[in-house]
Each structure stands twice: as C-alpha cells, then as structure tokens.
Structure 1
C-alpha cells in the first residue's frame, strides 16, 4: 500500500475543475487496483468570481464580457466542454438562463469539511448540483441541503456559513496560494512538489502518478 498526497485548488463553478478532477478520479481508481494506492486528497479554495453579488449573473453574458467572447465563440467553447465532460461521464447542462455565482460560502463549507474528511464527497456534490442540476450555489439553504445529503450536520454547517472567521480563512488561504504563484485552476500539487495546471489528459495523469508511485515507500 502506498499513500499519495494530492492538493487541489478549484472552484465549483469552473467546468475545467470538474473535468480535471473526474479524470484524476478515473486514474486513481486504476492505480488503486494496480498498485494498492491510498490517495489523500486535500481541497483548497480559489474563487474565480469573489466580487459577484448575491444572485450572481447570467453565465452566458458573464463569459462574453469577461473573456471578450462573441456568442458564437462562447457557444463553441461550451460545446467543447460538454463533449469532454461526456468522455468521463459528466453531463454538463448549459442553459440560456444558467447563472454563475459567488462561491465564498461553498468554500467555507469545504474548508470546514476537511475536519471530518468529507471534502471530496462534498466537492463532487457541489459540482453536480451546479453543472447538472442548476442549483443556486450562493443560497444558504441550498448549500445546507447539499451538505446534509453528504452526512454533514445542518446546525454545524449553518454556523460555518454565518461565522465571518471562516470567510476570512478562505480569503487568507487564497492569498497564500496566489503568493505561491497559482494564478488559475484547476491546479494540482502532487506530493507537495509536482504542479499540474489545467485539466490534464487521463494518459498524462496516469503516467505522472504511476512513475511517481515507483519512487514512494510502501506503508507497513
């Protein structure tokens, strides 16, 4: 058995983060069987849109303005993302009225969930809620429902969402990663020294992790 630490910076409204993690999950599943791998995943916040107001903005308009895209370019980009998602079992649902939201509250929950080792189930549930179910991701009750469905306590989660200390912790953590040179997500740090930026292909992830595993000691 070999333990492998992977730190992931992501935002739940980033489709490339969803694709990147799902590819990683596929590779880890293969390696867990082939090499008795025990992955240890730690999620870290990276807000793409920290100044978005409550209720968010219409996604299509937001993308075209922020990235100076035409409607056609944005449509083609979403078609590409949808196709890549389908390859790994993600059913992206981009609709005309889909909105993009401030994710600070979600990151507060994710940071707190590390204490009970529930980060990954919660992160996956947040991805699904946004990209496949069209949930309002800055709504407190929506976030609480998602968290409770993953076995977390509603009262504890509500305290996390209303505690300004957790909001400050998210901001401070993001600042530290920015100062460390992380400018975009997804970003994965393998064993605290190998940085993989972007949604890397499955074959590349497999080769990178497989080669690294050969250098790690086995657990006894």
Structure 2
C-alpha cells in the first residue's frame, strides 16, 4: 500500500534556493517511486513584491536588502552553483545581473495549475532556467511566453492573461494565505497541510522526511 502525499511547494522563481530545492525534491520523489503517490502543487511567494519595472542590479539589491559585501555575494554564488550542480541545475557562472518583479510569472503558474496541472511543473522549471541559467528579464512578456511555449501550454491564452489583470486576486489571496501560515522565507515545502520542510535541502533530507511522513499514513 502506498501513501498519498499532497505537496505544496511555496516559492519564487527569483529565488536560487528554490531552484535547488525543487530539483532536490524531484530527485527524492524519483527515489521514492512505488512508495508514495504525490500530488505536487506550486504555490506563489514574492521575495520582492515592490520591485519596480526594469528591476534592479542584483549586487545593489543584495547589499541593500541583506547588507552583504561583494566578496560575501561571490562566496554565496559559488555555494549556490555547487549545490545546483549536485542536483543537476546549472546556474549562470556570471550571475543574473538584475532581479525583476515576478508577479506576472506567478499569474501564469496559477493559470497552468488550473488549466493544465500536469504542465505546471514544466512551466516552473522553464521559468527557473530562464531566470537562473539564462539570466533573462523575468518581467518580459517575451521571456514568459517562451517558457509557456516550452512547457507545451497555450501561448495565446497566456498572452491574453499577461495583457490583463486575470488571476491577480487569486495569486494575492494565495500569497496572503501562506503568509498567515507563517511562511516568510522560501522554499517552503508543506506536506499534507501539516508538515513543513524549510529551505533548499539536500536530496537525502527530503527523501528521509517524506519517507517518515509516508510511514505514518499506511
């Protein structure tokens, strides 16, 4: 008998640790095939909801937000690149350059989860690659629509969504819900609405935690 796990992966595409965490979670779920049935839902979180159009230089942003120095930022980038390589995610060795508002991307992800839930993960992964591997402008409709096409979703429908305010209320409500649940950093992996795994954990940590939770259900 296999256990059924509902997994809500709360994250922002501009978060490098979310890319690492999602790749590690995927590997853990592969290792658990036959032991668990999984329903994976990608939920919205904005690290920088006030980010204006045009974005901000990433080094300037990190210095303002965290007080980090250029040397500290370089060390963190090295750590992130290595952790990404460990789970098969390639970060741009030159970094991103700028950081952008991601609300439009979250609206598209919400739509994908409703219209084609089996393709939501593919869209998320395409967006993460565009952001962290290809250093694209994640507020650009062209960049977002290219990810939609890559995920096999309806590009014209997505274009109409971007040209409107469709799904704005729904995304805001989802963000507010997770904030009320105490989620203030990402990635946050919530299992069966009860168990929280925080951060971009290694594969083994996800695997062990999921196996322990599943064991209580069978």
TM interval, shorter chain, is over 0.9
CA distance in 2, matches of 1:38, 1:131: 30
- Aligned-CA RMSD value: 1.5
Query: Hey, what does 2:155 align to over in structure 1?
Result: 154
CA distance in 2, matches of 1:212, 1:126: 30
Shift of 1:94: 4.4
Query: Hey, what does 1:113 align to over in structure 2?
Result: 112
- 158-167 or 128-137: bigger deviation: 158-167
- 182-191 or 164-173: bigger deviation: 164-173
Q: How does 1:1-220 map to 2 (within 5 A)?
A: 1-33=2-34, 35=35, 37-95=36-94, 98-115=97-114, 116-117=116-117, 118-217=119-218
CA distance in 2, matches of 1:98, 1:186: 22
Equivalent pair of 1:43/1:120 in contact (CA under 8 Å): yes
2:138 counterpart SS class: coil
CA distance in 1, matches of 2:95, 2:109: 29
Instruction: Spell out, residue by residue over 1:48-106, the C-alpha distance to the aligned partner (whole angstroms, 9 max, x if none).
Output: 11111112111122112211011111111111111111111111114266111100000
Q: Which runs of 5+ in 1 are unaligned?
A: none
Aligned length: 215
CA distance in 1, matches of 2:146, 2:77: 28
TM-score (norm 1): 0.92
TM-score (norm 2): 0.93
Equivalent pair of 1:188/1:197 in contact (CA under 8 Å): yes
Shift of 1:2: 3.7
Equivalent pair of 1:94/1:131 in contact (CA under 8 Å): no
Q: Which runs of 5+ in 2 are unaligned?
A: none
